[in-house]
């Protein structure tokens, strides 16, 4: 998909599952469980604690792509450099997510026809991210729905993604407040991954997908 189509699909599906801290040997099975649960977007994150975040990212991307193919649109998360944008593009990512706003990262993302989702906290940062070319601004860190309501007053014209405190209970509240998308790993708990409980991962994924559909 081109960037325009990816953005339209994100706006429709709204749920991006963050693939962080997943052992590479279990990545394929976790990704398949998410896809079976109806997840259409998976964000593979760069792990900057690794000696080579790029090598780790590539291993994860290839494992997940082999498992789910075109059933899921892949993206890259915790992207901090232009080089990481370019690697993600070569590996087939359709969108770039960052915890911060970096004009060069956003510019290169758009040049490569990918969706840009940088992170911001304050109104100044949110507007700056949008001015730099962000398609959606990731609220990082804003986890109270009232905070979102206050931001939406003057800035409701800017599409925003909730990343913190996303759950079955809060999804309806965030949607009502004006949130356009979600990025979450909350239901993908470490115990499920360690115990290889892929059926429960699928079940939880499906519940989140259904909750979003019910309240959209």
Domain harbouring 143, CATH code: 3.20.20.70
Its pTM stands at 0.97
Strands of 95-97's sheet, edge to edge? 115-117, 95-97, 73-77, 41-45, 15-19, 181-184, 160-162, 137-139, 119-120
Whether residue 96 contacts residue 114, with contact meaning beta carbons closer than 8 Å, is answered with yes
Q: Give the residue among 111, 95, 105, 122 at the shortest CA–CA distance from 183.
A: 95
Q: For residue 193, give both structure tokens.
A: 């991954």
In total, how many domains does the chain have? 1
Range(s) of the domain holding residue 208: 3-215
State the average pLDDT over residues 138-163: 94
Q: For residue 194, give both structure tokens.
A: 């360690």
Q: For residue 7, give both structure tokens.
A: 């953005």
Q: For residue 42, give both structure tokens.
A: 């998976």
Local structure of residue 70 (DSSP, 8 states): G
The pLDDT tens digits for 117-145 are: 999 999 999 999 999 999 999 998 887 89
pLDDT at 154 over 90: yes
How much is the pLDDT for 143?
Answer: 78
pLDDT at 195 over 90: yes
Give the pairing type, strands 119-120 and 137-139: parallel
């Amino acid at each position: 998909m081109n960037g325009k189509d990816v953005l339209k699909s994100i706006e429709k599906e709204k749920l991006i599952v963050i693939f962080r801290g997943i052992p590479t040997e279990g990545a394929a099975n976790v990704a398949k469980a998410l896809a079976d649960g109806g997840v259409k977007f998976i964000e593979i994150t760069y792990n900057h604690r690794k000696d080579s975040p790029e090598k780790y990212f590539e291993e994860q991307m290839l494992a997940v792509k082999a498992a789910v193919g075109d059933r899921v649109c892949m993206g890259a998360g915790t992207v901090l450099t232009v080089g990481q944008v370019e690697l993600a593009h070569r590996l087939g990512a359709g969108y770039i997510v960052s915890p911060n706003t970096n004009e060069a990262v956003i510019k290169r993302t758009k040049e490569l026809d990918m969706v840009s989702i940088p992170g911001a906290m304050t109104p100044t940062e949110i507007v700056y991210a949008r001015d730099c070319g962000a398609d959606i601004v990731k609220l990082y860190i804003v986890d109270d729905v009232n905070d979102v309501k206050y931001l939406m007053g003057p800035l409701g014209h800017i599409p925003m993604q909730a990343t913190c405190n996303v759950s079955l209970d809060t999804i309806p509240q965030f949607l009502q407040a004006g949130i356009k998308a979600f990025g979450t790993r909350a239901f993908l708990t470490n115990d499920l991954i360690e115990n290889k409980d892929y059926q429960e991962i699928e079940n939880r994924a499906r519940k989140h997908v259904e909750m979003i559909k019910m309240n959209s």
